[in-house]
Chain A
Amino acid sequence: MSTQQQEPETQEAPEDPEMKGTQSPQERRLEEKESGLTEDADSAGDLEGETVHLKVFRYDPEVEGKQEPRFDDFHVPFEKGMTVLDAVMYARDEYDSSLTFRHSCRQAVCGSDAFFVNGKQRLGCKTQIVELEQPVRIEPLPHQEVVKDLVVDMDHFYDQMHAVEPYFQDEETPAAADLEEQRQSPENREKIKMSSRCIWCGACMSSCNIAAGDNEYLGPAAINKAYKFAMDDRESEAIKEHRLRILEQEHGVWRCQTQFSCTEVCPKDIPLTEHIQELKREAVKKNLKFW
């Protein structure tokens, strides 16, 4: 089954980028995200001694009663610092051992636990329960096949990541043979810093309307991965051009309609839309050179 049809509950109207003066929409979104404006609510406040009400999506293709997707309610005792991941782990360990979801690091580095929480893609381990309105509705990432409960099929996401030749191509460097250190300026390192933070959680891809409509679209994470290599001065110009050719194909950067949904959900605050825009400009520059 697929959640392809599900519409996010809190669809936001596309905003007019002109509204906020000279600030780019990118900057504004990042700022809002930092100040917590896009959170559902902080009204939940202090939950000490109370229970948290979760509504969790359940589905299993082979278990009777679970073949039709449903929501199960769990009431979990609140503890200070409790995250969405803590809450579903508690529900699984204490109430229902068949409740299934991916998770590992519990610290926002493994990218396993992107869920659709109260209508938005978020990492379970990085989302404090107190910041959410109750009942907390936890669903698998939209636009991906659901394998079971909160587990989605990530193969398509991985395929797209692999499609951009996501590895350093060092054929051109003279130092390769004797492993002499390649130099890189701190500025250039800074340039690729944000792009290199991606943890492959898939939240961006799941939030993207274009990706939902065009299965072959590379998607924000893969394009960002390519950005990291294309902008790294340690690779040669020739390889950069090769990368741009991959990116400007039909299902590449030009598909992006700068809706910013990816940037808004990225748990690592990567300015995805900005990176895609920059690659569009680079592609134009490269093509002009050949005309």
Chain B
Amino acid sequence: MYEHDVIVVGAGGAGLRAAIAANEAGADTAIVSKLHPVRSHTGAAEGGINAALQEGDDWELHAYDTMKGSDYLGDAPAVETLAQDAREDTMRLEHWGMPFSREEDGRVSQRPFGGLSYPRTTYAGAETGHHLLHTMYEQVVKRGIQVYDEWYVMNLATSDEDDPNDRECHGVVAYDVQSGQIEGFKANNGVVLATGGPGQAFDHTTNAVSCTGDGHAMAYRAGAPLEDMEFIQFHPTSLPSTGVLISEGVRGEGGILFNNEGERFMFEYGYANNSGELASRDVVARAELTEVDEGRGVDDEYVHLDMRHLGEERILDRLENILHLAEDFEGVDGLVEPMPVKPGQHYAMGGIETDENGQTCINGLYAAGECACVSVHGGNRLGGNALPELIVFGKRAGRHAAGEDLGDPEIRTGYGDDVEDETETDLPVQPGAAGLERSGGVAADGGVAADAEGALERAVERERDRVDRLMNKDSGVQHAEIRSKLQQAMTDYVNVFRTEAGVKKALKIIRECREEYQDVYVDDPSTTFNTDLQQTYETRNLIDVAETIALGALVRNEFRGAHWRQENQIRDDENWLKHTLVSWDDGEPSIFYRPVILEGEEKTYEPKERSY
């Protein structure tokens, strides 16, 4: 068994920042990550980091923009903390040597981004995430923080009181991908989950293969609710074969979208008569899919993004990296042919419910980064607001886990007297655990674990048994089959367009996936680098996470931010200024709501129409 004060699960921007903060607060800190830190998907972010750095800009404007962008589903204490701390934390990156792009006077450059009232997106070329990730990893090396890389965290070790609010997290169980060894990692002070997004729940995504929502699923099964999972951002221009993102820059420079008849559909069919291709992400994504659904898609799948008319010189000058992306990942030369694009899952606004200090309702369990929902993005994330979230809330979670006092949080977590139960929606199938899985819950073997070691040992035993079961079974279904069925269902029915009937259909297929999963087996007999086993674990997590997304999409019958429902295509502030929470409750999901907090430090944010 390994033992540290603070265990950080994940080594993307949020995990690295949390580890540095915990280390600086004096805690013996370790990072456990299934990927080597520099492989984390934070490295893929291109655009930038929003922070009010310049005179003329201030944090209040940043907070206002963020709240408006969230379609009034962000919690003011979190939104204001983000806006207030982003400056200091961005400057800290600069002091750690991050190579930001520079102006003639030597200051860091900032540029305009969608939904911002001031050009406050700070960037480092077209590789902001790459530099942020590497700069922070360098600081981890400098401080000698222990990194267990290529260790896959399988589950949390929590105590098993009936009420999740009384539970405590004592550590994690992980396995060494290289050797297959399964070990407990005891956390004396706290565990910080920083496992990134759940994009692999969808068939087509800009997220990495490793973005499988492991942290979401582990926290959920331990009793921490998942919040606002229905809010998924789809990016309108991703390459069809891989999901690689083609940035808004192309449309910003004048790139045009065409359907298979060569019509400039954003205008011709009136999707956005004023802004056309530059309308917000969700509007363009819905327009593209409508074209395809109505038979005007290319190959019945995508539309064309054309930039040839901009001329070779301008393209090479401003959009050279796009040429490389199209060439390398799609085999298309953007100078001579239009680029195929379609909407792809991009970002999850929801996640593990936390307060401003990153803590969940389970004592000692924290979450930060894309896996968490604190909530700053509410119904819709503004471009450039995820990276500051990583550093601001990663830092806070790390410090709090290390024992620093950050003041009492204003955001409440877990089931409590301020929530409202969901009572109205009929479910087409029973969600939650199936068969054997049900007995794998927190309180499975009865009685409250006496102490931390006991809880950890039992958690380790459970995972060893599970691995034995999966490895010893020699026929059945393989994870890849279940995973692709799940991803297809999500992309077919819980995508940009959502209808009650469609989402119900998805829930049925998810149920089937759960049942098939009872019969899953791992074919590769090796204990060395068994990715078959790892992916089998990940697939289970994807099923749980996909189900919460679909449940949220079913109950929230309104159109807010990125979530669109056919039956009620308006933002319904009367009924829906509240967060959706799904909690596992020992295998049977229950759904409840918590009101959004719109009262800030000094002012209240009045919901206004989100038009730009």
Name A's B-contacting residues (CB within 8 A).
Answer: 60-63, 79-83, 86, 92-94, 97-98, 100, 102-112, 125-126, 128, 130, 147-149, 151, 154, 158, 162, 166-168, 170, 173, 175-176, 179-186, 188-189, 192-193, 196-197, 199-200, 228-229, 232, 234-235
Contact (Cβ within 8 A) A81 B241:
yes
> Is residue B504 contacting chain A, with contact meaning CB distance below 8 A?
no
Bound Cα distance from A170 to B135, whole angstroms: 13
**Contact among B92, B210, B245, B331 with A80 in the assembled complex (CB-CB below 8 Å):** B331
Residues of B within 8 A of A180 (CB): 91
- With A81-B240, A83-B328 given, name 6 new contacts (CB 8 A): A81-B330, A93-B480, A167-B96, A168-B96, A183-B106, A193-B99
In the bound assembly, the distance between CA atoms of A130 and B333 in angstroms comes to: 14
How many angstroms between the C-alpha atoms of A82 and B478 in the bound complex? 24
- By the criterion CB–CB under 8 Å, are A112 and B95 in contact? no
Q: Which residues of chain B in 362-413 are interfacial with respect to chain A, using CB atoms and an 8 Å cutoff?
A: none
Query: Which residue of the partner chain, among A107, A158, A173, contacts B244 with CB atoms under 8 Å?
Result: A107
B571 to chain A, nearest CB (A): 34
**Contact A179:B92 (CB < 8 A) given known A100-B531, A199-B43:** yes
Return the CB mask of B311-347 against A: 1 if under 8 Å, else 0.
Answer: 0000000000000010011111000000000000000
For the complex formed, measure the closest distance between the CB of B397 and the CB atoms of chain A, giving whole angstroms: 21
B331 and A128: CB pair below 8 A? yes
Say whether B439 faces chain A, with CB atoms less than 8 Å apart.
no
A97-B532 in contact given A81-B331, A110-B43 (Cβ < 8 Å): yes
Q: B294 an interface residue at 8 Å Cβ cutoff?
A: no
Cβ distance B98 to chain A, nearest Cβ, rounded Å: 8
Q: Which of B43, B44, B91, B531 has most chain A Cβ within 10 Å?
A: B531
Q: How far is the CB of B21 from chain A (nearest CB, A)?
A: 15
Contact present for B127 and A147 (CB under 8 Å): no
Is the CB–CB distance between A167 and B141 below 8 Å?
yes
Pairwise interchain contact B105-A126, C-beta atoms closer than 8 A: no
Alpha-carbon gap, A107 to B97, bound state (A): 25
What are 14 A-B pairs at a CB distance below 8 A? A62-B526, A81-B329, A81-B331, A93-B480, A97-B480, A97-B524, A98-B530, A104-B41, A104-B210, A109-B43, A162-B141, A168-B96, A186-B101, A196-B131
Q: How far is the CB of A49 from chain B (nearest CB, A)?
A: 14
A182 x B95 contact (CB < 8 A): yes
Cβ-closest chain B residue relative to A267: B328
In chain B, positions 454-486 with a C-beta closer than 8 Å to chain A are: 478-480, 484
Interface pairs A-B: 9 shortest CB-CB: A168-B97, A183-B106, A98-B524, A81-B241, A167-B138, A167-B142, A93-B480, A110-B39, A81-B330
- A147 & B178 in contact (Cβ 8 Å cutoff): yes
The complex places the Cα of A61 from the Cα of B527 at a distance, in Å, of 10
If A81-B241, A81-B332, A97-B480 touch, does A148 touch B526 (CB 8 Å cutoff)? yes
Contact of B208 with A105 in the complex, beta carbons under 8 Å: yes
Whether A110 contacts B40 by the Cβ 8 Å rule is: yes
Given contacts A98-B523, A147-B528, contact A79 B241 (CB under 8 A): yes
**Residues in B126-150 with C-beta less than 8 Å from chain A:** 127, 129-131, 134-135, 138-139, 141-142
Interchain nearest-CB distance for B24 vs A (Å): 14
Residues of B within 8 A of A83 (CB): 242, 328-329
Is the C-beta of B429 less than 8 angstroms from some C-beta in chain A?
no
Whether B256 is near chain A, meaning CB under 8 Å from some CB there, is no
Contact B97 A229 (CB under 8 A): yes
The residues of B that contact A92 with a CB separation of less than 8 Å are 480
B574 within 8 Å of A by Cβ?
no
Across the interface, which residues of A come within 8 angstroms of B95, CB to CB?
Answer: 168, 170, 173, 175-176, 179, 182
Expressed in whole angstroms, the minimum distance between the Cβ of A66 and any Cβ of chain B is 8
B264 CB within 8 Å of chain A: no
- Tell me the smallest distance from the CB of A185 to a CB of chain B, in Å: 6
Chain A residues within 8 Å of B129, by CB: 109
Q: Please indicate the chain B residues that have their CB under 8 angstroms from the CB of A79 in the complex.
A: 241
**At the interface, yes or no: B251 with Cβ under 8 Å from chain A?**
no
Please name the residue on chain B nearest to A105 by beta carbon.
B208
What residues of chain B lie closer than 8 Å to A147, measured between beta carbons? 178, 528-529
Is B445 an interface residue, CB under 8 A from the partner?
A: no
Within 8 A of A (CB), among B467-516: 478-480, 484
Residues on the B chain within 8 Å of A186, using CB? 101-104, 106
B603 at interface by CB-CB < 8 Å: no
Kindly list chain A residues whose C-beta atoms are within 8 Å of the C-beta of B479. Answer: 97
State the Cβ distance, B103 to closest chain A Cβ, in Å.
7
Q: CA separation between A146 and B394, bound complex, in Å?
A: 36
For residue A162, which residue of chain B has the nearest CB? B141
Q: How far is the CB of B565 from chain A (nearest CB, A)?
A: 31
Nearest A-chain residue to B104, judged by Cβ: A186
Within 33-50 of B, Cβ neighbours of A (below 8 Å) are at 35-36, 38-41, 43-44
Q: Could you tell me the distance between the alpha carbons of A98 and B526 in the complex, rounded to whole angstroms? A: 8
B107 at the A interface (CB under 8 A)? yes
CB-CB under 8 A from A183, the residues of chain B are 105-107
Contacts of A98 in B (CB 8 A): 523-526, 530, 532
B422 touches A (CB below 8 Å): no
How distant is the Cα of A103 from the Cα of B97 in the complex, in angstroms? 28
B440 within 8 A of A: no
Q: Which of chain B's residues 175-224 have a Cβ closer than 8 Å to chain A?
A: 178, 208-210
* Bound CA–CA A103/B36 (angstroms): 11
Q: Which residues of A contact B94 (CB under 8 A)?
A: 181-182
A106 touches B526 (CB 8 A): no
